[in-house]
Structure 1
Amino acid sequence: MTQSKDTDPYADPRAFYGSELKRLREGAGLTQEQLGQRVFCSASYIGQFETAVRRPQLELSQLLDDVLGSGEHLQRLCRLAHRSKVANYFADAAELEQRARTISEFSSMYVLGLLQTEAYAQAVTRSALRFVSQEARERLVSARRERAQLLEGPSAPAYWAIMHEATLRVAVGSPAVMAEQLNHLAEVVRALPNIVLQVMPFTAGAHHFLNSMVSLMHFNDAPPVVYTEGAGTGRLIEDPALVAHCQSSYDLARTEALPTAASLALIESAAKDWTTQ
């Protein structure tokens, strides 16, 4: 995986975790490969933690503390490193998308986070997190809007989105919120050449991602990964065979979705429908 641009141990909790892991490993006279063998992972995986590329994991930190005789030191640092503006289960994927060369996403029921307006994001968060404080929801919405800036500028990744037609028809918030959101989709597609947006029509029937949110990320100097998400949970997939399977399924979904021009026309038509309600 791509190396961290800033390995100053005092830059953030994750960098400090990495520097402490390296200090403890070297103090024990172990190479990355030797330590990896003792905690059942690869040398490169240990290296990713030491260079602050990857967020540490609590279960692995427990093993590392046991092997290195560091009590609960790494476990405590791990908890600090897991503080994030986004939902904890999404934090690793959120960091990876900042380094991605291309991002390909599919959503079956709601507008993808990078393309959401503030009002739509508020409506989604309010319905999904009814028992969470308003302050906490506002922080999540703010973080989601910050993420959207990823799609702009000279270093923006190529972004391919496929959304099921249900995302255009299911009311999230008021009709005015829906109209604004769909008009925003049309504006973004017209304004940003790095974005491709397709709609999977109802007439396509069943397909591999029928009930899924999937994000495939490719990098310049690292293997691709897949992130999948459900209600209150997310999973980062790195197994090459599973990633390749998801990529093939996504390529097939591209052929089954409407062409970009027809997708844009359908989005604008749906926006008008919401406006008249």
Structure 2
Amino acid sequence: MANIRDLDPSASPLDYYGAELRRFREAAGLNQQQLGAIIFCTGSLVGQIETARKLPTREFTQRVDAALGTDGALMRLLKLVLRSQLPPWFQPYAEMEARASHIYSFQAQLVHGLLQTEEYARAVLGVLHQDRLDDRVAARTERQRILERENPPLAWVVLSEAVLHQVIGGTEVMRNQLARLLDFRDREWVQIQVLPFEAGAHGGLKGSFTILRFDDDPDIVYSESYESGHMSANPVEAKARSLRYDHLQAAALSVEDSAKLIARVMEERYGEQP
């Protein structure tokens, strides 16, 4: 039976997407099963998405936009839908991150979210609870698309060597994650350095942080705790954090030597030579 639950389009971006999908479908004179047949899915899936019970994927949205001639309207909505799946306290940062021209980050424990494979992200996000895990992974993957756009930000990440050795998700997940880091060598706008253990005491001992730089706005400093994030545009704090980051870059291996270390750890610890 077709899903006909009424939606309040203003309740959430997901509800708005579902209401628009239904509106476009009905304007085309199609029922859920007919649309499903056209885009190679079930009518039930169309109904679940129309009633905001299931998150639409990028592939589903592309097919629906093409089938219904919406001129990309649903794809534009999808960006809002996926961002809404991020934790509420993280969403303001994600919006600033998408606007930044430069992203400088030190990561003490984990690979930066923009550089994670889907499997690594799934292991990180699923540590304590599995609810809506697919949706949360999809939202993190969508964040990474800023690195694919025509004019991407410069992303410069310093990783503690501990990040390479901390096994997240198992050996195969780590092998693929380190291979992903090596793949970024071909991207001019993504630079990765590793802070080696022998660096000893360093400017990042208090934890991970990120500096967002903009063309026309003040820098933003971001750090997070277990269940919240903190952003500040205080110029004094931004200057102090920039100095700390400069020291971390100076203490880290060069980009080329960092890649060699990543490759060595990948071979020795995870059993594969890149």
The TM-score normalised by the length of structure 1 is 0.66
> Helix, strand or coil for the counterpart of 2:149?
coil
Q: CA deviation at 1:204?
A: 0.7
Alignment of 1:89-128 (within 5 A): 89-127=89-127
Could you tell me how far apart the structure 2 residues matched to 1:111 and 1:275 are? 16
The answer to whether the 8 A contact 1:217-1:224 is kept is: yes
Task: Give the aligned partner of residue 217 of structure 2.
Answer: 222
Query: What letter matches 1:125 in structure 2?
Result: L
1:240 to 229, 232, 235: 235
Which sections of structure 1, spanning at least 5 residues, go unmatched? 1-9, 14-82
> What is the DSSP-based 3-state SS (H/G/I as helix, E as strand, rest coil) of the residue aligned with 1:89?
coil
Aligned to 1:210: 205
Q: Which residue of 2 aligns with 1:257?
A: 252
Cα deviations across residues 182-203 of structure 1 (Å, max 9, x unaligned)?
0010012x22110110000011
Counterpart position of 2:158 = 162
Q: Which amino acid aligns with 1:261?
A: E
How far off its partner does 1:211 sit?
Answer: 4.1
Which whole-Å CA distance do the structure 1 matches of 2:265 and 2:236 have between them? 38
State the alpha-carbon separation in 2 of the partners of residues 228 and 276 from structure 1: 34
SS in 2 for 1:209: coil
Equivalent of residue 270 in structure 1, options 255, 262, 265: 265
Query: What are the within-5 Å matches in structure 2 for residues 62-81 of structure 1?
Result: none
Q: Scaled by the length of structure 2, what TM-score is found? A: 0.67
Asked if structure 2 preserves the Cα contact closer than 8 Å seen for 1:182 and 1:267, the reply is yes
Alpha-carbon separation, structure 1, partners of 2:105 and 2:166: 19
Residue equivalent to 2:38: none
Secondary structure at the aligned position of 2:203 is classed as: coil
**What is the 5 A alignment of 1:174-185?**
174-185=170-181
- Structure 1 residue 153: deviation in Å? 2.8
Q: Structure 1: which amino acid aligns with 2:223?
A: T
User: One-letter code of the match for 2:87?
Assistant: A
In structure 2, what residue type is equivalent to 1:221? D
More displaced stretch, 110-119 vs 138-147: 138-147
CA contact (8 A) 1:213 1:230 kept: no
Alignment of 1:12-27 (within 5 A): none
Contact in 2 for aligned 1:212/1:229 (Cα 8 Å): no
Q: Secondary structure at the match of 2:192?
A: strand
Paired-residue identity, %:
34
Confirm or deny: 8 A CA contact 1:108 1:211 kept in the other structure. Answer: no
Tell me how far apart the structure 1 counterparts of residues 175 and 165 of structure 2 sit (CA, whole Å).
11
Instruction: Report what 2:182 is aligned to.
Output: 186
| Structure 1 residue corresponding to 2:143, chosen from 136, 143, 147 | 147
**Separation in structure 2 between the aligned mates of residue 230 and residue 183 of structure 1, nearest angstrom:** 28
1:118-167, Cα deviation, whole Å (9 max, x unpaired): 0000111111xx2x3x3422221111111111112321001100000000
Q: Which secondary structure does the structure 2 equivalent of 1:88 belong to?
A: coil
Query: 8 Å contact 1:105–1:214 — kept in the other structure?
Result: yes
**Rounded Cα–Cα distance in structure 2 between residues aligned with 1:205 and 1:126:** 32
Provide the rounded CA distance (Å) in 2 between the counterparts of 1:180 and 1:274. Answer: 13
Paired residue for 1:84? 84
Displaced runs of 4 or more, over 3 A: none
